[in-house]
Structure 1
Amino acid sequence: MFGWWQKIVDGFVYGTLGLDPNSAAGSALDFFLFDTVKILLLLTVIIFLVTFVRSYFPVEKVRDWLADKHQIVGYVTAALFGIITPFCTCSAIPLFLGFLQARIPLGVTFSYLVSAPMNNEIAIAMLFTLFGWQVTALYIGFGLLVAIVAGLVIDRLDLEEEVLIKPPPMKPHTIETVEIPVAKRLKEAWAYTLDILKKVGLYVLAGVGIGAWIHGYVPADLIVRYAGGDAWYSVPLATILGVPMYSNAAGVMPLIEVLTQKGMLMGTALSFMMAITALSLPEAMILKKILSMKLIAIFFSTVAVGIMAIGYLFNVMLA
């Protein structure tokens, strides 16, 4: 898809600048220029399209619709809704509270809280950009499965009393349907896309920059040695290491690309990424004001086990 851009970058780096294709500097710069433009371009297109489609599904309507549905349907819908809400772990919490206020079952709200940061459109767009549709489809499917199972587990444990904040039930109301012209939806989608790009742009540059440095200067055998290769402990170790490293998909995905190029197995790398995006210490600190430590521990443990399971499955399926 981007072969034309690769030729331009190669011509500039190795022709105009005269860098050696086998040198660390040349390889790193070529990687940085190619990936930066490719990622930002695809992010622009995909975020714009998703935002435009999302304009037809207001949050209030989804919340009220969930409140009246069977729980199984609620788990699936909440997890799917996480795909079209561009939130990290911390920024997903306000809507999580809104679901609690609407008296939506606790397990369903957690299905959303897991899915939103893990399966948001930025993560999906960058996965598609870097690894293709097969890996992206598997990631979405397994990510939704983790969100749904986590919600089911929490629901079956009857943990409603572990919610420290008891929001009053929302009064029933009727949402007025206002037809928004397509031109306005397109304009708002473009404005939102630019706003998101401003917020994640530096993360992309930083992530690609780190990835480019590793790509050019770090020997492949060093990554494989410490990543554990196909050792049994590589997936849980990657998951544990990912929790303290709070970031979003835009910042960590370029690093994942380089780690896999250097020899880390795809499942191990994705476990690392999912732990970074779906579980974080800042999230735990915010949730501590809303949920008991018991419920937070169960939530983190359930998601961590799901992430590790996905890591092992990816390593087997993509071996």
Structure 2
Amino acid sequence: MFEIIRRESVYLWYYFSVQLEQLFPYWVLGMLLGSAVSVFLKDKIHNTFRAIGEKKIGILGIVAASVLGIASPLCMYGTIPIAASFSKGGIKDDWLAAFMMSSILLNPQLILYSAALGTTALVVRIVSCFVCGIAAGLLVRIFYRNKPFFNFEGFAEPRSRDVDPNILIRFLKNLGRNVKATGIYFLIGIVLSALFQRYVPSDMMTSIFGGNEAFGVLMAATVGVPLYACGGGTIPLLQGWLMDGMSMGSAAAFMITGPATKITNLGAVKIVLGMRCFLLYIGYVMLFSLATGLIVNGIIL
């Protein structure tokens, strides 16, 4: 019995150490990039959005809003008060929908994490999140042109926590908060990936996420709902699954439904949407993830 436990521990440590060695540099760089954007560029990004809102560029504003949403480093609970201030400044709901949707799905830190999955996965993630934001904005523009989609009543723009007069200390404090917020999820993700690699046969992963395209995409979109807790924590899982035969379309579906239906993000979105619009949001996320997964599989396979 002791020999079996020892042998299994050796195998698990091997899988854990290999992934840790591969992904740790991306996690560190992601922390550094995320803190740098938050401390030095966050206000510039948001002020740029306000400035664009003053211009009469119509539908092109949705595209710009989606880009700036991806560039914004804030979590959804931080994005909502900022979006409330944008709304008070006259920015329309269709632009805000694009900004908030893409902000939920992606940020500069997560882009760097996703580079560990390879160039194809990185491009798929960036493009799909960008398009998801644009599509959300267009739908709000079409169906909610003359009625409000969001309710930001009672929200005020939050005070920045990065206010230390010493710029280096300001950056280090932000970096410390980032490490504290994501480190445990990163390690849990590597542990779960090691367990999957050791005890779940690769042909089973292929049959679930890769063999039948439509079924695999559906399963990945569904699994993304309960498994997603932190962007950095899912990278080890995705890396292991892709190595075991997960299709790129299934990975794309997971990368959309995961952050969009993460419990904290759902709680934040529910605050500013009524029940009807909240259900529309859920339906939109699931349909878009399925369509994206099938399209990606059709292009790449």
Same-fold call, TM cutoff 0.5: yes
- How many equivalent residue pairs? 287
In the alignment, the residues of structure 2 paired with residue 253 and residue 239 of structure 1 have an alpha-carbon distance, to the nearest angstrom, of 16
Of residues 186-195 and 220-229 in structure 1, the stretch that sits farther from structure 2 once superposed is 186-195
Is 1:219 equivalent to 2:205 in the alignment? no
Q: Percent identity?
A: 22
8 Å contact from structure 1 (residues 243, 276) kept in 2:
yes
Return the match for 1:119 from 98, 102, 106.
Answer: 106
Aligned CA distance change for structure 1 residues 206 and 96 (closer, same or farther; 3 Å): same
- Map 1:116-265 → 2, pairs under 5 A: 116-128=103-115, 130-158=116-144, 161=147, 163=149, 165=151, 167=153, 188-227=170-209, 229-265=211-247
1:78 is aligned to 65
SS in 2 for 1:104: coil
Shift of 1:310: 2.1
In the alignment, the residues of structure 2 paired with residue 87 and residue 303 of structure 1 have an alpha-carbon distance, to the nearest angstrom, of 20
8 Å contact from structure 1 (residues 100, 167) kept in 2:
no
8 Å contact from structure 1 (residues 267, 315) kept in 2:
yes
Shift of 1:28: 1.6
Bigger CA radius of gyration: 1
8 Å contact from structure 2 (residues 45, 72) kept in 1:
no
2:3 is aligned to none
SS in 2 for 1:243: helix
Shift of 1:192: 2.3
In the alignment, the residues of structure 1 paired with residue 137 and residue 207 of structure 2 have an alpha-carbon distance, to the nearest angstrom, of 36
Return the match for 1:66 from 47, 53, 60.
Answer: 53
Task: Give 2:132's aligned amino acid.
Answer: V
In the alignment, the residues of structure 2 paired with residue 28 and residue 67 of structure 1 have an alpha-carbon distance, to the nearest angstrom, of 53
1:303 is aligned to 285
Aligned CA distance change for structure 1 residues 51 and 166 (closer, same or farther; 3 Å): closer
Shift of 1:311: 1.4
8 Å contact from structure 1 (residues 220, 263) kept in 2:
yes
Of residues 49-58 and 29-38 in structure 1, the stretch that sits farther from structure 2 once superposed is 49-58
| Cα shift readout 1:230-261 (whole Å, capped 9, x = no counterpart) | 33222123223323445221121211111111
Shift of 1:279: 2.8
In the alignment, the residues of structure 1 paired with residue 198 and residue 99 of structure 2 have an alpha-carbon distance, to the nearest angstrom, of 39
Shift of 1:217: 3.0
Shift of 1:315: 1.9
Shift of 1:264: 1.0
SS in 2 for 1:165: coil
TM-score, normalization: structure 2? 0.81
Aligned CA distance change for structure 1 residues 31 and 156 (closer, same or farther; 3 Å): same
SS in 2 for 1:264: coil
Structure 1 segments unaligned to the other structure (5+ residues): 1-18, 171-182
Task: Give 2:138's aligned amino acid.
Answer: L
Shift of 1:111: 0.5
1:15 is aligned to none
In the alignment, the residues of structure 1 paired with residue 226 and residue 178 of structure 2 have an alpha-carbon distance, to the nearest angstrom, of 24
In the alignment, the residues of structure 2 paired with residue 213 and residue 62 of structure 1 have an alpha-carbon distance, to the nearest angstrom, of 44
Of residues 270-279 and 218-227 in structure 1, the stretch that sits farther from structure 2 once superposed is 218-227
After the TM superposition, which parts of structure 1 deviate over 4 Å for at least 4 consecutive aligned residues? 183-187
In the alignment, the residues of structure 2 paired with residue 185 and residue 133 of structure 1 have an alpha-carbon distance, to the nearest angstrom, of 34
In the alignment, the residues of structure 2 paired with residue 309 and residue 184 of structure 1 have an alpha-carbon distance, to the nearest angstrom, of 48
8 Å contact from structure 2 (residues 19, 236) kept in 1:
no
Structure 2 segments unaligned to the other structure (5+ residues): 1-5, 157-164
SS in 2 for 1:263: coil
Shift of 1:283: 3.5
| Cα shift readout 1:256-279 (whole Å, capped 9, x = no counterpart) | 111111111122022112211123
1:316 is aligned to 298
| Cα shift readout 1:44-87 (whole Å, capped 9, x = no counterpart) | 44335544662571524532432434232321121111122223
